[in-house]
Chain A
């Protein structure tokens, strides 16, 4: 596809379960970002990948959160032992090179609900 693709679009799970969210960036984009948007809040930076460099994980809220990017393309965000406060929309974005002057292209997000 032409845009950033995220799956699933919606996920409902019980507290304590692990969840995996997937992001397919735009082909050729080397930079990939994960954000979280809780109800009534702005986008909260989680993690940033650029090419083969070590990711910037400074936004991950706890060690229950981790992310991988395989082959410089697809990324998965994993949340272990989910808590109710993890309920949010998780957005993925990619850009051609990374950097502030490279607009990010966002996917439509995964709406995660923890019961």
Chain B
């Protein structure tokens, strides 16, 4: 059962515009969420995280928004750059097993110059 879902397999955005990547989850017990970025033939790298006590976390061009009632989070990249082109995974964990992470299937972002 897929507890974390990324329903858009791909997204194409013009350089300088905003990229919005979405993630939905089904388990209301999830209380920590992370975004990872993955380039081809490399392992994922940590990007940004958010705890369920917050609804927003910002780090430079990257902002993650959490809507607990909708069980939805999104990653905003502003402004998008060609180097942001990669696959983005969201992940979640629950307090009863905080070492077990559930990952979405990823969204491939293409930022066009």
**Cβ contacts under 8 Å, B51 to chain A:** 101
**Cβ contacts under 8 Å, A58 to chain B:** 100
Q: Could you say which of A41, A45, A99, A100 has the most chain B C-beta atoms within 10 Å of its C-beta?
A: A100
| Mask: chain A, 79-115; 1 = CB below 8 Å from B; 0 = not | 0000000000001010000111101111111000000
Residues of chain B in range 26-82 having any CB-CB distance to chain A below 8 Å? 31-32, 34, 36, 41-46, 49, 51
| Mask: chain B, 89-108; 1 = CB below 8 Å from A; 0 = not | 10101000111111111100
On whether the beta carbons of A103 and B41 are closer than 8 Å, the reply is no
CB distance from B23 to the nearest CB of A (A): 11
Chain B contributes a number of interface residues (CB within 8 A of A) equal to 29
Given known A100-B32, A100-B93, A103-B49, contact A45–B102 (CB-CB < 8 A) = yes
**Cβ contacts under 8 Å, A42 to chain B:** 2, 4, 6, 89, 103-106
